[in-house]
Structures are given as C-alpha cells and as structure tokens.
Chain A
Amino acid sequence: MESSIDISTTDTTPGLYIHIPFCKSKCPYCNFYSVTSFTMIDEFLYALFKEMEMYREVFTRFDTVYIGGGTPSLLAIEHFAGILSNIRNIFILSPNPEITVEINPADCPQEYLESMRRLGFNRLNIGVQSFDDKVLTFLKRRHSVREALDTIEAAGNAGFENIGIDLIYGIPGQNMTSWLDTVSQALSLNLVHLSCYQLTIEAGTPLGLRHHRGEIVLHDEELQHAFFIRTSEILEKAGYVPYEVSNFARDISLASKHNQKYWNHTPYLGLGPAAHSFMGHKRWWNHSSLDEYIRDIEAGKLPLDSSEILTREQLHLEAFFLGLRTKRGIHLHNYSCRYGYDLLSEKADALARLVKAGFIEINEGYLQPTRAGLAVADSLVSILAFE
C-alpha cells in the first residue's frame, strides 16, 4: 500500500468511514446525502455488510472508524452492534482504535450512550451547532440548547472521555456577541474537541436557494474574518490547539485521528452512499442514492458512482492545499524529495512576501500558515502553486 504524501507522516494505517444516510429532517444548510424515510434501514445495513465483504481483500486493517451521516444516532443499538461486529469479523482493528460516532442531541438518552460506549465507541461527535436557541431554530435543528447540554452531560456519565461538539458560526442574524457566548459556553464544558465551522452556502440546499433568491445574506467578509480570527484566538488562549481551519483539540494528541487522514493523504475506505475512498493515487466514491447503492450491491458489484486516478501533479496540488489547511503545514524537505520541487528556492520571492505579510511562517522545516494565513489558505495555495 502506498504511503501518504507527506512521508514524515507516520500514519499509514487506513481509516474506515461509514455513511448512515438517514435523517429525521433535513437541515437547510447541509449537503451531505441522506433520506428522511427509514423504511430502507434494514436493506441498507444488509447492503453495507455486503459492501464490507467486497473490500475484504483490498483493505485489511484500520485504526480509526468514523460513523457519520446523515444521522447515525437514528440507528438502534442492535444496528450498531451489527456494524461493529461485521467490521471486526471482516477487517482487523488495530489496538486502541479511535471509533467515533456522530450523534444528534435529540436522540440520545443516557442508556443509549452507555450501550454505545459498551459496544466500543470511544469518541463522540455531537451535532450541537449552537448554544443559542434562536440560532438552532434558524438552522432547523431538532433539539434545543437544553437537550444538547443534557446529552453532553449524559455522554460524560456514560463513560465517554473523548467528546467533541460541532458548532456553526457566521449565521445570518447571529452577531459576534451571540457567537462568542456560544464559544464561552462550549469552553465551560471543558470538552476534548471542538469543530467550529463557518456557515457555507452549499448549492442545492434549501439555504442555498434562499441565498440565491436574496432572502438571506451572509455576513460581509470583514465580519467573517473577525469571527474566524476571534474564535481561533479565544480557543487557543483557553488551551485548545487550532490544528485545522475548523478544528480545535485540547491537545494535539486528542485531534481527530480519522479526519487527519483526509488531510494527510492517508488511505481511507468510505462505505455507504456517497462515501469517498482513497488509496495510493486513486479516489473513488459511491452513488449518492440509496436505491442505486443497494441495487448495485444486490447485483454483486461495487456501488461506485465514479473514480479518478490522480496524477503526480494532482496529488501534489492536493497535498498542498490540504497541508495548508493544517497548523502543522507542509514539511518542505519531504515535499521536495517527493516532488522534486524545492519550494524554498523556487518560490523564494512569493514566500518572502507571504512571510513578511504575516501569512506564513517557516518553522523547523515546515511551511506553516499563521492564523491570518489559515483564513486565506486557498489563496496561499494559488500563489505558491500557480504563480
């Protein structure tokens, strides 16, 4: 198996992602694939187990499992038991694997969480989104702030230590004070992990449509920038490591091992509708349709929507933009070995400009974006890769 792009990355063990494509209701901002009818849950799980079988010879070992969606917490404990036992039967899980599940605060009484913990889940990602009920209403979330707080507490009681929550900022109608209030509430909970996403408008979502019609307007760029910088500063001051554009961990060792595989070009297998997989220089992804997914698997074939073979240049470009999303940045020596391209000498002028302007730093052999640089990481890529 080919290793990741950055050869300083010791992590070469693949991660496993499973997409649970069911939601009770669709959140207007979300563009992940899901359906709101649950009639197909059993067929889906049956297909999922068959899909695992199909990859038995291709992937052998995983050290992370991430069950996302959709809304995984709509599944019953027995479903999860089935998923995990199939994973363990078909593949090998490394010792002390990171096993994460995304849950919705509306779905998870303490007994449910206790059972999850017993099944082997050791990391929870809770879709809290905000500690402001008005914002939750705008986002059409099914839960209240109260339920979110209860779920977080229940998760701790259930024995979860590694608890993370998702928060969204830059929402129309949300001002800085409201957002910072959510941040300070999050801080008071002393959680291991925080994901703070700036609201993005995705085409084809109800919010995208409203935005297109001009019914909602995003904050101007200055304010977006202020949200981003303030968030990062406050969380860092409170002891969190801002290890990626939207991700913060109590300690770098507590960063999501699974998600880092995406940014490091470590192999991963994605199962379920719309899931993406990557290995070596190949990426492939499944149908964004539960029906087609099930149909293909029942016909005995991989439910692929499409795939791509990445050229060296494409891998290089991906490594570049993925690396610049992370605090760790790009290891210059390894990059040069791998691509025969010495950024330091080839891009000396641009690097000097960007360093001087405070967008990047070069530390211990790494090209690292500063906080201001992370806010404009896409442009850093474009300047350094294309100019």
Chain B
Amino acid sequence: MENIRNFSIIAHIDHGKSTLADRLIQYTGVSNERTFKNQILDNMDIERERGITIKSQAISLPYQARDGNAYSLNLIDTPGHVDFSYEVSRALVSCEGVLLLVDAAQGVQAQTLANLYLAMELGLEVIPIINKIDLPSADVEKVIEQIDSELGLDPDSHLTCSAKEGTGIEEILEAIVARIPPPKGDQQAPLAALIFDAQYDPFRGTVIHCRVFDGEVKRGDIVRLMFNNATYKVEEVGHFLLTRQERDNLSAGEVGYIIAGVKTVSDVRTGDTITLHNRPCEKPLPGFKEIKPVVFASIYPIASDDYEELAVSLEKYKLNDASFIYQKDSSTALGQGFRCGFLGLLHLEIVQERLEREYDLSIILSVPSVRYRFTLKDGTLIDVDNPAHYPDPSAIIKSEEPYIRATMMLPEKYLGAVMKLCMEKRGVNSILNYTGPGRAELIYEIPLAEVIYDYYDRFKSVTQGYGSFDYDVIDYREGSLVLLDILVNGEKVDALSQIVHRDRARARGLLACERLKDEIPRQMFKIAIQGAIGGEIVARTTISAFRKDVTAKCYGGDITRKRKLLEKQRKGKKRMKMIGSVSIPQSAFLAVLKSGTE
C-alpha cells in the first residue's frame, strides 16, 4: 500500500484536464505513440465537444520515482457538472489527493470550486498546478495570488506545467508520490470496496469500477452488493491500464475493476459497498445515496416509423447509464414515445445528443418536468411527473412540489444579482456565509421546477461564470399549481404542456408562444399559438402566413441551384413534426423547453 497513490484531477472546462491526463499516461509509458489517442480519458465525442467528462474513468500509471521505488498511481477521472455531483463525490472519496488544475491565462474559475471544497471536506491533499504556462497571455503571478487569496491554499505549494508542450510533467508525478499520502486500510479485514462507476461491456456484462478500502477480492469470491443485497461470483478482477489488465486480486488501497456476471449497469449503484458474502464487513462504507431522477421528459421520434429503432436505442443506451430510466409513453400530438427520468437538465441533453448522434435518430423532447405530488379529495396521494397525467383540477385538494437546497459559492460582488435571481425563482430561507475575503456562500431553498427551467444558465450569466452551484433535493412543499397547455391552430400539443406555479403561468405561456413564433417557420396558413389554463387562453401569438415566396425567374441556369435549395429544405423537413397542418421543427420544441433568459 505504501506504493499506491490514488488521485483525481479537478479543473474547469478547457483548463486542460484531459491533456494533462494524456501527458501523465504518455510519460509513464502506459501508451506508446501508436496507441495514443488524444485525450484518452474523454473517449466519447460528445465529451470532447463539450469539453466535459460524463462518465468517470480510471487508469493505473506505473511510475518509477526518483526515490528509486516503483509506484502505482491511480488516476480517477471525474465528471464535471452539477448534475453529477454525487458521482464526483464517490470518485473523490476513492482518492487521497487531487491535482487542482488552473489555467495560467484564465485563472481560477468557478467550476473548480465546488469540487475543490468537496475534496477539502474529505481531507484530501490538494496540489495546485498552473497549466498553460506556455501561453503568451499566461499570468502565473496572478494565479498564485488567487490560489492564496481565493482558494486559501498555500501559494508555495503550486507547480507549473504546460500539458500541451509536455513540460513539468515529471515534477507533477514526483509531487503525487511525495505529497499525496498512501491509502490506509486493513488488508486482513473483511472486504469493503466502494463502487464509483460502472461500465457496460457487451461481452462481459457490467465492469464495476471500485476502490478497495479494506480486505481483498479475487476471482471465485462470492461478493455481495450491500444496498441491492445481491450476490455475484467474481469472474475477474484487475486494474486499468489503457485496457483492462487482469490481476490475481485487488486489495486494500487499490483501485480497479470487478467483473462478476452483473448483467447491466443498472444492477449496480454508484456509492454502494461490495463485500464478501460469507465474511461481510460490519456496515457499508459511508455516504451512499440512492440517486433518483429528478427531471422527467418524454422522448418521441420525429418520424413515427422510427419508434422501434428508438426503443432499441434506449435499451442500448441504458446499458451504460444507470441513472437514466424510461418507460413507454404516448402523446396525442406526437404518437408513441417514452417517458424518461434524468439526473438534471445536462443529463437530459446528453441523452438527447447521444441518441441523435450515436443512434442517428431525430427525436423530440417534451418540456421537462419535476415530480409533483397531489392530494385528491378522496384522500389518495399521487405523484405526477408527466403533465399528461395532471389530475382533474376540481379533484385536487393539495398540490406539492419538490424543493432543493441550492448551495452557491460566489464572489461577494455578485451577491445582489444572485439573491434577486433566487427570489425571482421563489427561493426562501436564505443563509449567507463568508468563506473567505470577498467570497460568499449563499444557501437558498428553491422549488426544483424553477431550477430546471433556466436557473443554471442565468446563475452562470449573473455571476459571469464565477459562481458555483450545487443542490440537494430536500422535501415537498405546498404550492399553487396549474396545467398550462400550448395550442397550435387550436390543436393541443401535449408535449408542450407544463405544470407550472399559478403566478408563473401567464408569463410562461407568453414566453412559450413567443419562442414558438420565433422557431416555427411561416407557412401558407396563418398559425395561431395559444397558451391556455383549462379553457382560459392566457397567452397568444400569431404567425402570419407568407404570401409570396417564389423567385421571379427560373431558366436553364437556375434549375440546379433551385433544386439544391429544395433538397436542403427536405433535409430540414425531416426534423419537422406535423401537428395538424403545421410543421413544427424540432428546434421549436427545444426552444420552449430551454425557455431561457430574454
């Protein structure tokens, strides 16, 4: 155990986390140039494009240190978004230290803060690293000053590097060895291993990523997942190089994988404890939370013929995403589809993009909803996460909605703007703490529905990116809720229906109408767009018909050009859904559900 170091990298988007990881991998010789694929850790296209890591990954780096000893450095990568903060916490719990990566030109950014604080809370060793020192705009002195004043870290503890150029890498590896403590644990104690991730392998089933805290696990062991209380026979254990590397055992302090005939990733839960069936540990490792989806939306194929294909794709997608849930659903306007549950809006967007990109499907999403709770006259209590199941209003005696506790950290100067935003979002019970000079922690209790609406984008914008945001769902509270429907030429588009707070209904309806007006191309007929509560129209806009669209001349030299234009249009049409006689582009549905700031 003395020769093991478990660590993670915390960084803001684009501060070079993946590049640094690649350099560490290259330097330690795990990959040669031939097998080296840029940014190995973020191996999904979508992650590269968004510059974020969605699924955490792990890799063991063999390192011969200057002290003459051989070390095994386990890098555990973490997802970088608030929707996945629980996954991040489990990954960090599996480490003894973190590298805090800061861009020399951009300085300390907000996104690193929440994870840094989490690491500090867990008592992890933090090594600040200033990256991109090769940039002409690099201002190392300023960043050192920020590390001191804004992060409260010892400014002398920093290292510098250029991950891109590959300078400073050895110093980082040496610091990992020297400064991050080796893991502690009792090899003789009963097995206690923490699951921090799981991935699906089409040939082997679920590959569980775990950190062993006590004891050891080997092939043939019967293990028990403590929360699920399910037992499995271990088929293989090992650690990660660029690919999985089988080993005889995994023991206390080590990070690796277990393959045990677990069919899908949904059968394992991040944060659960693995122990031995016949010699279990006394109690599970602390911190387990059952992660439940909090945002719900329906997914429909644009072309109803694609329904079967969508079903197959969701099934495949689900294999690798335990936090995603779905079931059949149908819409009058959009036909057969699926009701899905997500961890948050980003999670939703990721699922949507992956379905479109990897499975080549054109889909429409309904307006996301939280799970509301209604008490009816006959005493029954129903949970509703789909506006289509909104109960008869006359039968409702009590409406409740979920609240979150939002914890925000931000520079003091943005406090006013953020408090205004929180109050606008029906936030209550605020608590304000000063965490350092000029830095504040602000806690509010806010209805989750307000947060999934457009909160995060607006928070980022009012804090100019310097605020960090984290949340926990706390409880249900009574609120006055109504069902807002959207009608296009008198036809209800049920995918656009939303359950909203009564005070919000009119404004929300108007905004939805305006958004649709912007996104729906003018057509040959006048299109009336209305927002309605029950029978009452609360908002309305009209898209006038176009009257003239034909070009004046079309002779020999114009035909090809005109045809190409139409062919392009045909492609666009494939992403349109007919609602009655109106073609509504996919972008219109997205615009309504993202109804952001004006």
Which B positions have Cβ atoms within 8 angstroms of A? 523-525, 546-557, 559-560, 562-563, 566-567, 569-570, 573, 578, 581, 583
Alpha-carbon distance A200/B554, docked complex (angstroms):
12
Task: Give bound CA distance, A222 to B545, whole Å.
Answer: 10
In the complex, are the beta carbons of A224 and B556 less than 8 A apart?
Answer: no
One of A85-93, A147-155, A269-277 at the interface: A269-277
**Interface check A285, CB cutoff 8 A:** yes
Please tell me if the beta carbons of A376 and B549 are within 8 angstroms of each other in the complex.
yes
Q: Is the CB of A278 within 8 A of B549?
A: no
Per-residue CB proximity of A199-224 to B under 8 Å, as 1/0?
Answer: 11000000000000000000001101
Tell whether A130 is near chain B: CB-to-CB under 8 Å. Answer: no
A386 to B571, CA, bound (A): 9
A259 at the interface (CB under 8 A from B): yes
Considering only CB atoms and an 8 Å cut-off, how many residues of chain A contact the other chain? 49
- Shortest Cβ gap from A68 to chain B (Å): 9
A359 to B525, CA, bound (A): 11
8 contacts between A and B (CB under 8 A): A32-B557, A225-B548, A274-B557, A276-B556, A276-B560, A317-B567, A354-B524, A375-B549
Q: Inside 8 A of B570's CB, which chain A residues have their CB?
A: 382, 385-386
Known: A270-B556, A375-B548, A387-B583. 6 other contacts (CB 8 A): A199-B552, A262-B556, A308-B560, A317-B566, A354-B524, A379-B523
Q: Which residue of A lies closest to B523 (CB)?
A: A379
CA distance A197 to B583 in the complex (A): 30
Question: Which residues of A330-387 are within 8 A (CB) of B?
Answer: 353-354, 357, 359, 374-383, 385-387
Q: Determine the chain B residues whose CB is within 8 A of the CB of A224 once the complex forms.
A: 547-548
B556 touches A375 (CB 8 A): no
Q: What's the Cα separation between A386 and B549 when bound, in Å?
A: 17
Q: Does A268 contact B (CB under 8 A)?
A: yes
Given A259-B555, A387-B578, is A221 in contact with B524 using a C-beta cutoff of 8 Å?
Answer: no
Contact with B along A265-302 (1 / 0, CB 8 A): 00010100011111000010100000000000000000
Q: Are B546 and A376 in contact (CB under 8 A)?
A: yes
Q: Is the CB of A357 within 8 A of B524?
A: yes
Inter-chain CA distance A381–B552, complex, in Å, is 16
Check A225 against B557 for contact (C-beta < 8 Å). no
User: Which residue in chain B gives the minimum CB-CB distance to A17?
Assistant: B556
Name the distance in Å between B47's Cβ and chain A's nearest Cβ: 35
CA distance A199 to B547 in the complex (A): 16
Given A376-B524, A381-B566, A383-B524, are A245 and B554 neighbors across the interface (CB < 8 Å)? yes
User: Contact between B547 and A387 (Cβ–Cβ < 8 Å)?
Assistant: no
Q: Which of A71-79, A178-186, A318-326 is found at the contact surface with chain B?
A: A318-326
B556 contact set on A, CB distance < 8 A = 17, 262, 268, 270, 275-278
Complex Cα gap A17–B555 (Å): 11
Q: A275-B557, A386-B570, A387-B583 are in contact. Are A200 and B563 (CB under 8 A)?
A: no
A379 to chain B, nearest CB (A): 5
Contact yes or no, A374 B560, CB < 8 A: no
Contact A321 B524 (CB under 8 A): no
Q: How far is the CA of A387 from the CA of B524 in the complex (A)?
A: 13
Which residues from chain A sit less than 8 Å from chain B, CB to CB?
Answer: 17, 32, 197-200, 221-222, 224-225, 228, 245-246, 259, 262-263, 268, 270, 274-278, 283, 285, 308, 314, 317-318, 321-322, 325, 353-354, 357, 359, 374-383, 385-387
Summarize B's interface: helix, strand, loop or mixed. Answer: loop
Residues in chain B near residue A259, CB distance under 8 A: 555
Closest approach, in angstroms, between the C-beta of B217 and any C-beta of chain A? 59
Kindly list chain B residues whose C-beta atoms are within 8 Å of the C-beta of A314: 563, 567
* Nearest B-chain residue to A274, judged by Cβ: B557
Q: Report B-chain residues with C-beta under 8 Å of the C-beta of A199.
A: 552
Bound-state CA distance A235–B94 (Å) is 83
Q: Which B residues lie within 8 Å of A325 (CB)? A: 550, 554
Contact B525 A357 (CB under 8 A): yes
In the bound complex, residues from chain B placing their C-beta under 8 Å from that of A318 are: 559, 563
Q: How far is the CA of A354 from the CA of B525 in the complex (A)?
A: 10
Point out the residues of chain A lying under 8 angstroms from B557, CB to CB: 32, 270, 274-276, 285
Give Cα A263 to B553, complex, Å. 11
The one of B546, B548, B573 in contact with A386, judged by C-beta atoms closer than 8 angstroms, is B573
Instruction: Looking at the assembled complex, report how far the CB atom of B574 sits from the nearest CB atom of chain A, in whole angstroms.
Output: 8
Q: How far is the CA of A383 from the CA of B576 in the complex (A)?
A: 12
Q: Say whether B563 contacts A317, CB under 8 Å.
A: yes
Whether A376 lies near B548 (C-beta < 8 A) is: yes
Choose among A225, A245, A270, A382 the residue that contacts B547 (Cβ–Cβ < 8 A).
A225
User: Please, how many angstroms separate the alpha-carbon atoms of A378 and B549 in the complex?
Assistant: 6
List chain B residues, Cβ under 8 A from A275. 556-557
Given contacts A274-B557, A276-B560, A283-B559, contact A200 B548 (CB under 8 A): no
Check A378 against B550 for contact (C-beta < 8 Å): yes
Q: Which of A198, A270, A377, A386 contacts B569 (CB 8 A)?
A: A386
Bound CA–CA A325/B553 (angstroms) = 10
Q: Which residues of A contact B525 (CB under 8 A)?
A: 357
Q: Which residue of A lies closest to B580 (CB)?
A: A353
Q: Which residue of A has the minimal Cβ distance to B563? A: A318
Decide if A376 touches B563 in the complex (CB within 8 Å): no
Measured between beta carbons, the chain A residues less than 8 angstroms from B555 are 259, 262
Chain A residue numbers with a CB within 8 Å of B547 are 221-222, 224-225, 375-376
Check B559–A382 contact: CB distance below 8 A.
Answer: no
Chain A residues within an 8 Å CB radius of B550: 245, 325, 374-378
B residues within 8 A CB of A274?
A: 557
Neighbouring A residues of B573 by C-beta, 8 Å: 382, 386-387
Given contact pairs A375-B548, A386-B573, A200 touches B562 in the complex (Cβ within 8 A): no
- Report the bound CA distance from A228 to B549 in whole Å: 11
Contact yes or no, B549 A321, CB < 8 A: no
Residues from chain A with Cβ under 8 Å of B552 in the complex: 197-200, 245-246
In angstroms, Cα B550 to Cα A318, docked, is: 14
